[in-house]
Amino acid sequence: MSEHSPQAETVADKIDPGLGNVLFDVWLVSRAVHALIDDAIRSSGLDADEFAIYSVLASGTPMTPSDLADWMAAPPTTVSSYVKRFERRGHVRRVQNPEDRRSYSVELTAAGREAHHAAGALFRPALDHVDKALEESAGDTRQRLLELRRVVDTFATD
Amino acid sequence: MSEHSPQAETVADKIDPGLGNVLFDVWLVSRAVHALIDDAIRSSGLDADEFAIYSVLASGTPMTPSDLADWMAAPPTTVSSYVKRFERRGHVRRVQNPEDRRSYSVELTAAGREAHHAAGALFRPALDHVDKALEESAGDTRQRLLELRRVVDTFATD
DNA sequence: TCTAGGTAATGCGATATCGTATTACTATTA
DNA sequence: TAATAGTAATACGATATCGCATTACCTAGA
């Protein structure tokens, strides 16, 4: 396996594929995707994780730190430092919840929306490439991913 | 959303699903998967990333640090510290490449195989749950993931 | 064989992640 | 309404990640 490569093949090809299982495969793919996004949007000053968070916030869904933590399966402390960082950048604002003074929701500022937009512009070519390469199977892929997320959440919650 | 929830639904349900695109979906699912694995195997002393690396090594494919970096789409410096850490644990050994004195391959020691085995035992129930819940679509899911990885690698390489 | 350019791996430093313990508040029960 | 338990968020500290610069080695060209 390590001595020579018959064709132009990627590392991923050479390794598995018997090793694989769904969870492992997700892990592996996501590393590549994460790197792809990081590289694509680097010059915007956001990384893949940050871009994703900015994206939900930009979508208009009000999110508390706890919501964010559940949504992205991150520990509360991690979300805390994200919010602090984003706020320091002037990209995010905390909006007090009048019903519960411990809590607040996180909102993008105008500057935050701009940053997200800029990152989005860098992101789109990469996404287009992938979508194009996937062709009709793209929808199917997303379906499988959503299903998987549902299953995983079930397990984590039980 | 913070006021009330109609059913027993997960956070993921409430958010999207218009926001989504393949890359974003992968990112999101992988966070959940990563957390799931972390939690499942925590008591083994390995985390999800480490378990994955131990797994390739356990599979018998000889891997240099560069191979590992390519395979898991991580920067060389990150792999370097992984190897150092694993070696410190006594789980891994460096085997010099006689052809190239800069290089070496990484091998699991007996202790490393044991650690991997222990983590594997904790991992399996989680995997079984997911596989069972996915039923026949599991194979299809893996297929989609492998395809995606291929596409992403193509983009990264061009 | 010398030199220039490429590649494998790492040291170091900056910053990110996340576990443990804590604070501040809300809900529940009596 | 006091006491207890539960929940939202964070401070702090330990460790991980990764970019930049560097070392050591290999390869190609003259």
Residue to test with chain B: of A39, A132, A141, A147, most B Cβ within 10 A = A141
**CATH number, domain with residue A63:** 1.10.10.10
Contacts with A97 from chain B: Cβ below 8 Å:
2
Residue of B32, B71, B154 with shortest CB distance to A149: B32
Cβ–Cβ gap A29/B156 under 8 Å: no
> Confidence band (pLDDT; 50, 70, 90) for A20?
confident
Q: Is A111 within a domain? A: yes
Query: Which residue stretches of A59-136 are H helix?
Result: 65-71, 76-88, 110-134
What CA dihedral angle connects A152, A155, B2 and B4, to 10 degrees?
120
| Mean residue pLDDT across chain B | 89
Q: What is the pLDDT of residue A15?
A: 58
- DSSP line for A25-36: HHHHHHHHHHHH
Cβ–Cβ gap A36/B23 under 8 Å: yes
CA–C1' nearest nucleotide, residue B31: C17
Residue B95 to residue B106: CA distance in whole angstroms:
6
Structure tokens that stand for A88 in this block: 């320091």
The burial class, CB within 10 Å (0-12 / 13-18 / 19+), for A130 is buried
Q: Is B36 within a domain? A: yes
Q: What is the pLDDT of residue B99?
A: 96
Q: What is the pLDDT of residue B20?
A: 82
Percent of chain A with pLDDT over 90: 82
Q: Is B90 within a domain? A: yes
Q: Is residue B102's beta carbon less than 7 angstroms from any atom in nucleic acid strand C? A: yes
State how many domains chain B has: 1
Q: Is B104 within a domain? A: yes
> Confidence band (pLDDT; 50, 70, 90) for B2?
very low
Q: Is A66 within a domain? A: yes
Q: Which domain holds residue B42?
A: 19-148
Q: Is A28 within a domain? A: no
Residue to test with chain B: of A11, A78, A104, most B Cβ within 10 A = A11
Percent of chain A with pLDDT over 70: 87
Residue B19 to residue B34: CA distance in whole angstroms:
22
> Confidence band (pLDDT; 50, 70, 90) for A157?
low
Mean pLDDT along residues B33-53: 97
> Confidence band (pLDDT; 50, 70, 90) for B158?
low
Residue A15 to residue B158: CA distance in whole angstroms:
21
Q: Is A50 within a domain? A: yes
The gap between A4 CA and D13 C1' (Å) is 47
Q: Is residue B79's beta carbon less than 7 angstroms from any atom in nucleic acid strand C? A: yes
Residue B152, C-beta contacts closer than 8 angstroms, at least 6 positions apart: A29, A32, A33, A36, A130
Cβ–Cβ gap A152/B32 under 8 Å: yes
Q: Is the pLDDT of residue B11 over 90?
A: no
Q: Is residue B82's beta carbon less than 7 angstroms from any atom in nucleic acid strand C? A: no
Q: Is B135 within a domain? A: yes
User: What is the tens place of the pLDDT at every residue in A34-63?
Assistant: 999 999 999 999 999 999 999 999 999 999
Residue B67 or residue A2, greater confidence: B67
Mean pLDDT along residues A100-115: 97
Facing residues of A105 across strands?
Answer: A95
User: What is the tens place of the pLDDT at every residue in B74-112?
Assistant: 999 999 999 999 999 999 999 999 999 999 999 999 999
